[in-house]
Structure 1
Amino acid sequence: MSNDVAYPVFRTSDPALALRTARRLIEFGCCEYSVVCAYAELSSVAGVRGMANTMPEGRFCGASELEEFQGVLFEDQPAFVVGVPASGLPTEEAAFEGRLPVEWEVWNLPVGSIEDAFTAAIGPNMGLINWRSLQWPDAPEAGFHGESKHAEVTLLFNTHSRELDEPADDRTVLVHIHSVNIDGRQRNEPYAHWLAARVGLTVIGSAQRC
């Protein structure tokens, strides 16, 4: 089993500019198998309603505590916690008590199908867009073969971490490559620098691992 490692290559307070910049990398590696996924942590009822109106194809999961469901069969757990489409969201605001933040996500959609709408809808909430199954080209002058398994681009919203554990007020673009860690040193880091340079960018921070 192999892992990826991601490097920040661009940061801005302008969400539209961040998306345009991410797309430059995606166009460099996009192929017929490429897909897009997105995720958000919605911290208010208004944010949930807004996302439901804009992105009804997503799935919403309310927050919960482990103790609530110990000994409770999966089929007996509240649908809102297990996950519901926009049409299944509670209508009463009181139903959101103890259920924020609400997680929202979509998986494996066609590239270009949701990115603009998501960027407009996420507002101040933390989240991300992830493009995967890209195809990075060979870099013979740098000594690297192309790759697809870990060829990804991520656009972070209101956080600097792909784990969404570092709140921020800007957006960050990450480029992903195959992780090859030898004696604590990331052997493939020069490949990330090479990829960023192909579209006029540069690595601006340290590696992020899963």
Structure 2
Amino acid sequence: MSNSYAQPIFRTADLSEGLRIVEQLLAIADLRDLEVDFDARVSSADVLTALLEVLPRASWFGEEGTGDSSEGDDPWAHLPVRLRGFGQPPEKVQPFLNAVGGSPATVRWDFMGWPEAPEIGLGVGGARGAFVTLCMHVRDLELEEPAPDHTVFVHVKEIEAERAPWLAAQVGLSVIGDLVMAPD
């Protein structure tokens, strides 16, 4: 499996504005096989309870190096935890956003591919590297740099790095940071 590369294209304190940009990007993508992945750093029992109601089969591991879902441990006994839900339907996005509150989190939309970009010499982009991520209350994809705002990243294949600024331009934006390797 190879990683995608991601580049930030939009930052805002208004989560609805971040979602608007995501929707614009998804409108130009090939959405066959659309699914969503969730990732959150959770330190509150109330937030953990709410997230597990939305994602009852989510995996988790204790950030202190103890406990995880594969062992059948009690996540409340191991706070703070990192909670992940993969391959979810898009209908889970709003309930996840409601549940996560102010916790650092990401939502990543995974789909079939990006459109052809003939102006920069690129054909249709395949599924590897075709993602959009919305980072909430954090600046990075690893959930390590807390922030008061939210950032939208586009993902591309490393050999098609020029697709990221092209995608940003398709929604009236430009890149605002470096291209970085995204976590699996």
Task: Give 3-state SS (helix, strand or coil) of 1:117's partner.
Answer: helix
Q: TM-score scaled by structure 1?
A: 0.76
Q: Which residue of 2 aligns with 1:159?
A: 138
User: Is it true that 1:189 corresponds to 2:175 in the alignment?
Assistant: no
User: Is it true that 1:134 corresponds to 2:106 in the alignment?
Assistant: no
Which residue identity is paired with 1:128? Answer: T
Aligned residues: 181
Q: Distance in 2 between matches of 1:196 and 1:83?
A: 42
Which residue identity is paired with 2:144? Answer: D
8 Å Cα contact 1:133/1:150 also seen in 2: no
Name the larger-Rg structure: 1
- Percent of counterpart pairs with the same letter? 31
CA offsets per residue over residues 23-53 of structure 1, 9 Å max, x none?
A: 2111211422121111111111122123234
8 Å Cα contact 1:16/1:119 also seen in 2: no
8 Å Cα contact 1:39/1:105 also seen in 2: yes
Q: Which residue of 2 aligns with 1:27?
A: 27
| 1:177 Cα deviation from its structure 2 partner | 0.5
Q: Which residue of 2 aligns with 1:177?
A: 156
| 1:101 Cα deviation from its structure 2 partner | 1.4
Within a 5 Å distance, the mapping from 1:96-115 to structure 2 comes to: 96=77, 99-110=78-89, 112-115=90-93
Within a 5 Å distance, the mapping from 1:1-210 to structure 2 comes to: 2-53=2-53, 55-63=54-62, 81-82=69-70, 96=77, 99-110=78-89, 112-148=90-126, 149-180=128-159, 188-210=160-182
Task: Give 3-state SS (helix, strand or coil) of 2:153's partner.
Answer: strand
| 1:62 Cα deviation from its structure 2 partner | 4.5
Which residue identity is paired with 1:113? Answer: E
| 1:143 Cα deviation from its structure 2 partner | 1.0
In the superposition, relative to structure 1, how do residues 137 and 83 fare at CA in structure 2: closer, same or farther (>3 Å)? Answer: farther
Structure 2: segments with no counterpart, 5+ residues? none
Which residue identity is paired with 1:61? Answer: W
8 Å Cα contact 2:59/2:83 also seen in 1: yes
Q: Distance in 2 between matches of 1:201 and 1:145?
A: 21
| 1:14 Cα deviation from its structure 2 partner | 1.4
8 Å Cα contact 2:30/2:115 also seen in 1: no
Structure 1: segments with no counterpart, 5+ residues? 69-77, 181-187
In the superposition, relative to structure 1, how do residues 12 and 145 fare at CA in structure 2: closer, same or farther (>3 Å)? Answer: same
In the superposition, relative to structure 1, how do residues 65 and 101 fare at CA in structure 2: closer, same or farther (>3 Å)? Answer: closer
